[in-house]
């Protein structure tokens, strides 16, 4: 599981990253647009974890197209690392625009500045276009993911191309009060948050979850410690089809 850092800033971001790494997180997700790469880098250094044991991910703001290399060098400088493990295009542009950015991404990978390159918030058709025109398949597409957002077309498409679907916003994009999730939580003696993270794992989708509270950070790691029965996974999958709109007010 990746530690999401959107809206974490300043000393709180540094402490949050340090705390998460001390608890066992090994992948940190940030973005140029979050304005916190310096704080995330400080947290990484404060943790004392070897660079080789960490995955550092940041995202290039597509609106900065044309300034890819300088943006990447600034991200590396702020994070205090000499390479990224994964660099993502934060969102799609028109086909020509995405291709131009992607070509710079390929150059960065060939230069050894990033280990892997991917995209975020791309539709399968936008991925197809990029691959057809560049011949280079993204390693990852980071998309909002959850029961309501389950997209079998995207899942099959990305699996066929070998693209890892990474799920961002596992809590903020989901119905934390949904009765099916609450029933599973009660059955397993877990929180709805833990059930959602486990459901991501059952789908083979690594989650990018943000938590600043040490209790939340620790609780989220335990999603690896239990499993959901296939019938429970199917029941949660069906949330996408139901008409439940939230708790009675």
How far, in Å, CA of 97 to CA of 175, rounded?
Answer: 35
Assess whether 34 carries a catalytic annotation.
yes
Residue with tokens 């990447």: 72
Q: Is 83 in the site for ligand NAP (CB under 6 A)?
A: no
Q: Is 232 in the site for ligand NAP (CB under 6 A)?
A: no
Q: For ligand NAP, which is the closer residue by CB, 47 or 142? A: 142
Phi then psi for residue 2, to 5 deg, are -95, 150
Cβ-proximal residue to ligand NAP, closest one: 4
Closest to 80 measured CA to CA, from 105, 118, 49, 117: 49
Q: Is 157 in the site for ligand NAP (CB under 6 A)?
A: no
Q: Is 181 in the site for ligand NAP (CB under 6 A)?
A: no
How far, in Å, CA of 233 to CA of 249, rounded?
Answer: 28
Of 13-42, binders to ligand NAP (CB under 6 A) are: 29
Three-state DSSP class for 3?
strand
Q: Is 5 in the site for ligand NAP (CB under 6 A)?
A: yes
How far, in Å, CA of 1 to CA of 208, rounded?
Answer: 6
Q: Evaluate whether 101 touches 60 at the Cβ level (below 8 Å).
A: yes
Of 85-104, binders to ligand NAP (CB under 6 A) are: 90
Bridge partners (DSSP) of residue 4 are: 29, 210
Print the binding letters for residues 116-145 with ligand NAP: x by CB under 6 A, - otherwise.
----xx--------------------x---
Chosen residue from 220, 228, 232, 239 binding ligand NAP by CB under 6 A = 220
How far, in Å, CA of 31 to CA of 43, rounded?
Answer: 15
Six-digit token string for 183:
């029933």
Interface with ligand NAP by CB under 6 A: which range of 101-109, 123-131, 198-206, 215-223? 215-223
Q: What residues contact 122, with CB distance under 8 A and at least 6 apart?
A: 89, 91, 92, 98, 130, 138, 141, 143
What is the closest distance, in whole angstroms, from the C-beta atom of residue 66 to ligand NAP in the complex? 21
What is the closest distance, in whole angstroms, from the C-beta atom of residue 48 to ligand NAP in the complex? 23
Q: Is 149 in the site for ligand NAP (CB under 6 A)?
A: no
Interface with ligand NAP by CB under 6 A: which range of 44-52, 129-137, 210-218, 241-249? 210-218
Catalytic residue among 5, 19, 34, 210: 34
Q: Is 4 in the site for ligand NAP (CB under 6 A)?
A: yes
Q: For ligand NAP, which is the closer residue by CB, 72 or 122? A: 122
How far, in Å, CA of 97 to CA of 111, rounded?
Answer: 22
Q: What residues contact 131, with CB distance under 8 A and at least 6 apart?
A: 137, 138, 161
Q: Is 201 in the site for ligand NAP (CB under 6 A)?
A: no
Catalytic residues: 34
For ligand NAP, the binding residues (CB under 6 A) are: 4-6, 29, 90, 120-121, 142, 168-172, 191, 193, 208-213, 216, 219-220
């Amino acid at each position: 599981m990746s530690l999401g850092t959107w809206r974490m800033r300043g000393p709180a971001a540094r402490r949050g990253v340090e705390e998460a790494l001390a608890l066992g997180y090994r992948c940190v997700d940030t973005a140029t647009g979050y304005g916190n790469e310096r704080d995330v880098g400080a947290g990484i250094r404060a943790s004392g974890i070897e660079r080789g044991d960490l995955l550092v991910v940041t995202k290039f703001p597509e609106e900065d197209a044309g300034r890819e290399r300088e943006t990447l060098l600034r991200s590396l400088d702020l994070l205090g690392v000499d390479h990224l493990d994964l660099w993502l295009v934060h969102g799609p542009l028109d086909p020509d625009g995405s291709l131009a950015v992607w070509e710079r991404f390929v150059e960065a990978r060939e230069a050894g500045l990033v280990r892997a390159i991917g995209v975020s918030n791309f539709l399968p058709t936008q991925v197809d276009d990029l691959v057809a025109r560049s011949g280079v398949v993204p390693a990852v597409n980071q998309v909002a993911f959850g029961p309501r957002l389950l997209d079998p077309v995207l899942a099959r498409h990305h699996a066929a191309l070998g693209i890892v679907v990474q799920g961002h916003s596992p809590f903020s994009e989901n119905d934390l009060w949904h009765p099916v999730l609450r029933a599973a939580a009660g059955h397993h003696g877990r929180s709805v948050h833990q059930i959602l993270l486990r459901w991501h794992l059952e789908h083979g989708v690594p989650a990018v979850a943000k938590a600043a509270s040490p209790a939340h950070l620790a609780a989220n790691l335990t999603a690896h410690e239990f499993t959901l029965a296939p019938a429970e996974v199917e029941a949660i999958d069906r949330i996408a089809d139901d008409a439940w709109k939230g708790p009675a007010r």
